[in-house]
Structure 1
Amino acid sequence: MLVIQNLYKQFGSLVAINDVNLTVNKGKTVVLMGPSGCGKSTTIRAINRLVEPDRGSIMLSGANILTMQPDELRDIRKRIGFVFQHFNLISRLTTAENVMLGLVMSGMNKELARDKAVESLSKVGLENHLEHRPNELSGGQQQRVGIARALAYEPELMLWDEPTASLDPILVREVLIVMEELARYRASTMLVVTHELPFALRVADEIVLMDEGCIVEVGVPSQVFVNPASDIGKKYKELIEYQMNTSAQSLSGNRIE
């Protein structure tokens, strides 16, 4: 469905993406991981040309996004949902209005746009917050509005750029629960940039590890995190083992005799 070939992007002397090749099959959830600054966000932003690559091709259902003219690009973006790190909600608009705004601006009548907004907000558990404004919502709820806004277009591809990065740790869980539910429904293909290891272990069909602008390992979670081939994969394995040992020690220390 999504095929990236020889993708390259350079900012000044910094090579952000170095000949990246990646295939994401229809209905799959692929998690893109790696250290900060390795090129994950640049790669995912290049897919709908929020970043313009220097060379390469990005094929979505057979069409090369990188050669599209502005009108074609606007149409293809309606088929690609994007959830950002920051919520980017308009403070004067209600929850429902934030979700339906893009639909109305693209030509949909307000009644249908409202129906789609309500449906999308229901999918993320905010059906009782339609008339709330952003300052009346928690950070987790605001991010769920951002997710609903992307879902309203009924996209065939969902891109997630570290959607929990701006959240307080206490609020991360509510967003991850929504993401996991969407992944299970398989309503769309998902490419997720995240540092959330538990989410990746539970939900990913495939893990893609990046380092210094390159893909260094691809595989199912049980392969990448249990028997890694790359240095980055080995570091993730060590991190998982450390977290498991720490949790076991904590439980042992709290045991009531």
Structure 2
Amino acid sequence: MLSIRNLYKHFGNLIAVNNLSLTVDPGETVVIMGPSGCGKSTTIRTINRLIEPDSGSVIFDGVDITNLGEDELRSMRKRIGYVFQHFNLINRLSAVENIMLGLVMSGQSKEEAYDKAMAAMTKVGLEHLQDQKPGELSGGQQQRVGIARALAFEPELMLWDEPTASLDPMLVREVLVVMEELAKYRAATMVVVTHEIAFALHVADRIVLMEKGTIVESGIPNQVFVNPASHVGRQYKELIEYQLSTSARTLAGNRVA
């Protein structure tokens, strides 16, 4: 399905991605994690060339995306859904119109685009808010509209670039629930960049840990978080253990009180 080979990207003196290779199988949910600045967002953005790599290749369904011309790339992006950190919605348009826009611009009739947009809104549980404008929606609802916008193209591959990073902590859960449902029913192959450990434990088929632009560990969640082989993996394990112990102390204190 997806094969990234020897990917390299630098910004001035900073090497963001350093000779990275990764293969994702059809239907697989791969979660990329690591400390801020490790190159994970740069990596996912090079897949559909939101960022142009300096070298390497990105093979999707047998086609090297790095070699595509502008028209071919535009066509390929219809097969690859992308959910951004920020919502990037058009404020003057309603929720359903935001979802329809890309479909209509790609040549679909307004009727067909509306039907697909409403089907996508139903998948994220927002069909009752189709006429609301972004300013009338919560941050979590706006991000779910962004997810529906990507789903409306019925993509074969979904890319998620820290989709909860711009949300208030109270709103994170509603977006994660949608993502978990999509992963559960294998709606598409998924590559997710996130800091959400609980989400990764629940839905990832494979965790990929990055540090300084390279992959330092890859494996199933129980392997990576329970018996890590890398420094980054050990840091995540310590964080999970700390969170569990803090929760246990809080529960014990509540019982005493």
What TM-score do the two structures reach when normalised by structure 1? 0.99
1:58 deviates by 0.3
1:225 deviates by 0.3
* Displacement over 3 Å in runs of 4+: none
Match in the other structure for 1:88? 88
Structure 2 distance, partners of 1:44, 1:161, is 7
Structure 2 distance, partners of 1:202, 1:105, is 36
Match in the other structure for 1:121? 121
Match in the other structure for 1:176? 176
Structure 1 distance, partners of 2:48, 2:3, is 13
1:187 deviates by 1.4
Structure 2 distance, partners of 1:135, 1:235, is 39
Structure 2 distance, partners of 1:76, 1:166, is 27
Match in the other structure for 1:26? 26
Structure 2 distance, partners of 1:8, 1:170, is 37
Whether 2:60 is the aligned partner of 1:52: answer no
Match in the other structure for 1:224? 224
Match in the other structure for 1:101? 101
RMSD (CA atoms): 0.6
Whether 2:25 is the aligned partner of 1:10: answer no
Match in the other structure for 1:239? 239
Structure 2 distance, partners of 1:123, 1:171, is 18
Whether 2:146 is the aligned partner of 1:146: answer yes
What code does the residue aligned with 1:90 have?
I
Q: Which runs of 5+ in 1 are unaligned?
A: none
Aligned length: 257
What code does the residue aligned with 2:57 have?
S
1:27 deviates by 0.2
1:152 deviates by 0.2
What code does the residue aligned with 2:110 have?
K
Q: Which runs of 5+ in 2 are unaligned?
A: none
Structure 2 distance, partners of 1:185, 1:43, is 26
SS at match of 1:183: helix
The percent identity for this pair of structures is 70
1:256 deviates by 4.7
What TM-score do the two structures reach when normalised by structure 2? 0.99
